[in-house]
């Protein structure tokens, strides 16, 4: 990349290698944020690699993804630190950097773009190369890659990458009121929080006798009541837990509630991340729909949902395991519905989300225990 003159945009300028070196040396790291859109190559000191799964990238390209998904420090243009962008070098990487530049411009963020290649930067200033430990050379490209996919790796340590434990999918819902809990996903499936789970009047009002508790520390409020059925999925809201391993049992549990003409509440602490992930997996499995369509359906019910970014990566892997193509919303079978969002809506309106032949049914083990826990 050749050095160019500053852009005519008042919010954008180009930065030379010398200028970037001076910023890193002289400024406190809290005063700037260095975003690296390259998927491979040497890591730059203090840079954050920006890797987005397809469901987030499409929203970024459409201008509907909040910049807090890229960094929590990008709350608004007036309080944001100095933004420095390292453009992507491949076609796919360039789509991310181009989308970020467009979003920065549209939202009046001041930012700079490195006008030289990283190779040129590190040749001039080798001290800016991030030191790597031999044991940390291979790091997943993004949370969308499964643990068994070793083909997509990039050089460099996890230090300086997106904080998957705190990053959340937060679309722009300004002006859209937040629904009150419990949120009806379907006539037999409700999304809730800790308060919902301990409110007996609410549970009785919605005929909820099945509860999935997706926390490691909240008690099952009415576990001694023989009319109540509980399934605990003991996970915390961070990147160290894999919710995918619990999808089958959770889907079976929800199906048991449906078949018994009851209703199931899925809750975590706040009702925006772990419990949402379980509901999304259920919709994807039983309606053979893409993650994006399932997410849009749930979001239309409750504008405040914010799944942990790491869980979104797991859902993307789950989507692939179901044979979905999120980019175009296609299905593995020619007999499957061609409009997944309509399929969910039609099923919910009819009061029935009918599972396909390959989906899970209620397990005998679940039926014989009033409460079951996973750790």
Looking at the DSSP assignment, which residues form a beta bridge with residue 129? 44
Alpha-carbon span 18 to 271, nearest angstrom: 47
Burial class (CB in 10 A: 0-12, 13-18, 19+), 199: middle
Q: Which of 120, 148, 135, 97 is nearest to 42 (CA)?
A: 120
> Strands 153-155 and 138-140, how do they pair?
antiparallel
Q: Which residue in 9, 110, 106 sits closest to 62, CA to CA?
A: 106
Residue 41 gets the label, from left (phi > 0), alpha (psi -120 to 50) or beta, of left
Cα–Cα distance measured from residue 68 to residue 73, given in angstroms and rounded to the nearest whole number: 7
Could you list the active site residues? Answer: 268
3-state secondary structure of 259: helix
196: number of Cβ within 10 Å? 24
Give ∠ CA 168-250-305 in degrees, rounded to 5.
25
| Residue 265 CB contacts under 8 Å (≥ 6 apart), including other chains | 182, 190, 191, 192, 196, 197, 203, 206, 208, 210, 211, 212
DSSP-derived 3-state class of residue 18: helix
């Amino acid at each position: 990349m050749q050095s160019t003159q500053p852009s005519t945009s008042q919010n954008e300028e180009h930065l030379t290698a010398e200028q970037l070196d001076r910023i890193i040396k002289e400024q406190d790291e809290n005063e700037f944020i260095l975003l690296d859109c390259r998927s491979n190559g040497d890591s730059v000191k203090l840079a954050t690699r920006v890797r987005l799964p397809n469901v987030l990238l499409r929203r970024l390209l459409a201008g509907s993804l909040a910049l807090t998904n890229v960094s929590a420090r990008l709350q608004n243009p007036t309080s944001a630190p100095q933004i420095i962008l390292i453009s992507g070098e491949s076609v796919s990487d360039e789509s991310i950097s181009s989308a970020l530049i467009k979003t920065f411009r549209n939202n009046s963020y001041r930012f700079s773009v490195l006008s030289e290649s990283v190779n040129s930067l590190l040749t001039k200033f080798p001290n800016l190369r991030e030191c790597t430990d031999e044991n940390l050379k291979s790091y997943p490209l993004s949370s969308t890659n499964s643990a068994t996919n070793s083909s997509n790796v990039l050089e460099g340590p996890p230090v300086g990458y997106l904080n998957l434990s705190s990053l959340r999918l937060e679309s722009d819902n300004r002006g859209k009121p937040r629904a009150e809990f419990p949120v009806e996903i379907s006539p037999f499936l409700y999304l809730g929080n800790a308060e919902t789970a301990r409110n007996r009047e609410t549970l009785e009002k919605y005929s909820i006798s099945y509860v999935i508790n997706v926390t490691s520390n909240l008690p099952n409020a009415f576990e001694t009541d023989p009319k109540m059925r509980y399934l605990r999925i003991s996970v915390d809201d961070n990147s160290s837990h894999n919710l995918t391993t619990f999808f089958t049992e959770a889907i079976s549990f929800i199906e048991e509630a449906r078949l018994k003409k009851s209703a199931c509440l899925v809750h975590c602490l706040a009702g925006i991340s772990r419990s949402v992930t379980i509901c999304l997996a259920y919709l994807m499995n039983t309606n053979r729909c893409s993650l994006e369509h399932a997410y849009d359906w749930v979001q239309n019910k409750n504008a405040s949902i914010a799944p942990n970014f790491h869980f979104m990566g797991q859902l993307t892997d789950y989507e692939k395991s179901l044979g979905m193509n999120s980019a175009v919303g296609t299905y593995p079978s020619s007999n499957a519905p061609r409009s997944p969002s309509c399929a969910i809506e039609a099923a919910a309106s009819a009061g029935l989300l009918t599972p396909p032949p390959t989906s899970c049914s209620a397990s005998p083990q679940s039926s014989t225990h009033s409460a079951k826990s996973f750790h």
